[in-house]
């Protein structure tokens, strides 16, 4: 295997690599990343290539190569390789177009730059007839490009498209919804994993063109992939979209085309009885679900649907996403109702991710109701003056992985924050991995305590909290947790550090690895 990372090589040297590594089987190549501004001001490219005869003579020596992963900006390296020889051994190809982007939102300049490169690469995929796995990151694709991919790759088994921008060349006149036409079904494809880039979810609802484009893609997928074993269809960030009726029929058909569905995301269409019936009819046994809701009652309804379905027996991981929803301010049923259903009906639930605002009383409920969880994610914990922080009996639970984001309102005493942290850590003696993030940048003083006194199995801790000025270690032997060499010198030079906000860390397991965001954390 040859791995080239952040090396700026001359074009001739790049093209001579096969001479030095003629029997290469795996290649990973990534050029140095640049900021948006640097990319716009100085578009790096190799415009003066050696003659076609030269690079084809050299690159055709790589006939044994089996796997290529490339993130390039200057040189269409993969296309040059494909032009040079028929690669009968290449079975896996991963190409990232991210370094070609000139902005964050697929602006005109980015589209003009990326589209021709993507199309040129697709045209030459015919020279890798044995390819089974294809991965594109941040491409711009239309449905005509998808057809070309499949016509050139008859043996493709898995297709992964991350942050794909759907080109508007697949408009309603070309691919009419409900009567979409495509080539022969790609019956050899067993798995698809598509993450669709959508700039604005409000735009998806207000602009017919955007909505129809995604509806056409879903219709195409339902017609093209008829023998799937597994599939993932998601949007490019954690939000979901309210119900779009045009999405329902193709999504249900896609589910029915999938024989061993293991994951369902409710971003494109929520979890409903029709969705669950489609999963049941395909004999799928879903192990993971992602649920989106912007109201507590919607969350409760979807949990109720799941708990009454046959999928409740196999579901092992559940994400409840309702960003900016404060569960304590909801006027409908409290969190305890949802937790009770999870406890009674989802007997195999081992991993729970809660992406909405929870308070101390909610945490107590979660740990009491679901003591058998193996991992718990809480984004985010809110500590304010109105919370009742009482001394609760510590209920030991089975959690091995704990991931929390904690934030406190201005003026809140650190004792309240530390009580929440102490309760969490003492409730999880089996902890192996702990991750904490948050924003305390408004604080000018105080101390947060992370004490792992009874965690014999602790292996890894990550701390990244904005506003932290420095760290202290209650136990002298714990200083192996620092991740930078000049830490002691930094402490000596920090003026008035006793009055600055900091974190005190203590632990006994010397095998634990600590990754601390270098202070001061902005």
Q: Assess whether 382 and 454 both reside in one domain.
A: no
Burial level of 34, CB count in 10 A (0-12/13-18/19+)?
middle
Q: Assess whether 481 and 414 both reside in one domain.
A: no
What local confidence, expressed as pLDDT, does residue 482 receive? 42
Q: Please check whether residue 189 lies inside any domain of the structure.
A: no
Domain stop point among 378, 412, 429: 429
Q: Assess whether 425 and 470 both reside in one domain.
A: no
Q: What is the three-state SS of 457-494?
A: CCCEEEEEEECCCEEEECCHHHHHHCCCCCHHHHHHHC
Q: How far apart are CA 385 and CA 497, in angstroms?
A: 26
Domain that holds residue 458: 432-522
Q: Assess whether 344 and 448 both reside in one domain.
A: no
Q: Please check whether residue 154 lies inside any domain of the structure.
A: no
Domain count, the chain: 2
Residues of the chain with pLDDT under 70: 36, 39-49, 168-181, 199-209, 238-241, 329-333, 391-393, 476-499, 522
Q: Assess whether 445 and 425 both reside in one domain.
A: no
Q: Please check whether residue 493 lies inside any domain of the structure.
A: yes
Q: Please check whether residue 85 lies inside any domain of the structure.
A: no
Q: Assess whether 495 and 398 both reside in one domain.
A: no
Q: Assess whether 398 and 499 both reside in one domain.
A: no
Q: Assess whether 354 and 319 both reside in one domain.
A: yes
Domain stop point among 429, 459, 476: 429
Q: Please check whether residue 328 lies inside any domain of the structure.
A: yes
Cis-peptide, bond into residue 380, ω within 30° of zero: yes
Q: Assess whether 390 and 296 both reside in one domain.
A: yes
Q: The whole model's pTM is what?
A: 0.86
Q: Please check whether residue 139 lies inside any domain of the structure.
A: no
Q: What is the three-state SS of 238-275?
A: CCCCCCCHHHHHHHHHHHHCECCCCEEECCCCCCCHHH
What local confidence, expressed as pLDDT, does residue 419 receive? 92
Taking only the tens place, the pLDDT of each residue in 51-82 is: 778 878 888 888 889 999 998 777 788 888 88
Q: Please check whether residue 194 lies inside any domain of the structure.
A: no
What local confidence, expressed as pLDDT, does residue 483 receive? 42
Domain stop point among 387, 403, 429: 429
Question: For position 378, which CATH number holds?
Answer: 3.80.10
Q: How far apart are CA 117 and CA 92, in angstroms?
A: 19
What local confidence, expressed as pLDDT, does residue 72 receive? 78
Q: How far apart are CA 431 and CA 425, in angstroms?
A: 8
Q: Assess whether 366 and 436 both reside in one domain.
A: no
Q: Please check whether residue 510 lies inside any domain of the structure.
A: yes
- Residue 276, SS3? helix
């Amino acid at each position: 295997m040859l791995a080239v990372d952040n090396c700026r090589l001359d074009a001739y040297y790049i093209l001579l690599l096969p001479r030095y590594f003629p029997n290469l089987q795996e290649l990973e190549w990534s050029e140095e990343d640049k900021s948006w501004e640097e990319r716009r001001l100085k578009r790096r490219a190799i415009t003066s290539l050696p003659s076609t005869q030269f690079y084809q003579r050299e690159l055709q020596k790589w006939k044994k190569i089996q796997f290529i992963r490339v993130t390039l900006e200057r040189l269409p390296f993969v296309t040059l390789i494909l032009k040079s020889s028929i690669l009968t051994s290449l079975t896996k190809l991963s190409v990232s177009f991210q370094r070609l982007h000139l902005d964050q939102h697929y602006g005109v300049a980015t589209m003009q730059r990326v589209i021709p490169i993507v199309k040129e690469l697709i045209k030459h995929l015919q020279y890798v007839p044995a390819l089974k796995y294809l991965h594109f990151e941040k491409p711009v694709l239309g449905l005509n490009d998808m057809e070309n991919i499949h016509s050139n790759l008859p043996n493709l088994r898995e297709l992964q498209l991350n942050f794909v921008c759907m080109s508007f060349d697949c408009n309603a006149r070309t691919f009419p919804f409900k009567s979409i036409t495509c080539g022969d079904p790609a019956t050899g494809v067993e798995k698809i994993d598509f993450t669709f880039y959508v700039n604005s979810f409000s735009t998806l609802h207000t602009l017919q063109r955007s909505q129809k484009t995604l509806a056409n893609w879903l219709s195409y997928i339902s017609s093209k992939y008829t023998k799937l074993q597994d599939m993932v269809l998601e949007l490019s960030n954690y939000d979901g979209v309210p119900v779009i009726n045009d999405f329902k029929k193709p999504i249900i058909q896609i589910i029915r085309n999938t024989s061993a569905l293991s994951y369902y995301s409710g971003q494109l269409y929520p979890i409903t009885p029709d969705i669950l019936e489609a999963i049941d009819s395909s004999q799928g046994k879903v192990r993971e679900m992602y649920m989106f809701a912007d109201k507590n009652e919607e969350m409760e309804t979807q949990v109720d649907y799941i708990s009454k379905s046959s999928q409740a027996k196999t579901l092992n991981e559940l994400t409840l996403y309702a960003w900016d929803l404060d569960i304590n301010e909801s006027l409908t049923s409290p969190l305890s109702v949802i937790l009770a259903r999870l406890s009674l009906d989802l007997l195999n639930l081992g991993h729970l991710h809660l992406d909405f605002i929870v308070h101390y009383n909610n945490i107590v409920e979660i740990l009491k109701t679901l003591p058998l969880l193996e991992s718990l994610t809480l984004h985010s914990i809110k500590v304010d003056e109105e919370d009742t922080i009482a001394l609760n009996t510590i209920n030991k639970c089975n959690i091995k992985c704990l991931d929390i984001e904690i934030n406190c309102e201005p003026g809140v005493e650190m004792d309240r924050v530390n009580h929440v942290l102490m309760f969490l850590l003492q409730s999880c003696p089996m902890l192996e991995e702990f991750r904490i993030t948050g924003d305390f940048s408004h604080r000018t003083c105080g101390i947060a305590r992370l004490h792992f006194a009874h965690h014999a199995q602790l292996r890894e801790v990550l701390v990244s909290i904005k506003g932290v000025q420095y760290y202290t270690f209650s136990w002298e032997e714990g200083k192996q947790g620092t991740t930078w060499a000049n830490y002691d010198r930094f402490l000596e030079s920090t003026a008035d550090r006793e009055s600055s906000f900091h974190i005190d860390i203590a632990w006994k397991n010397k095998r634990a690895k600590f990754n601390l965001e270098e202070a001061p954390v902005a």
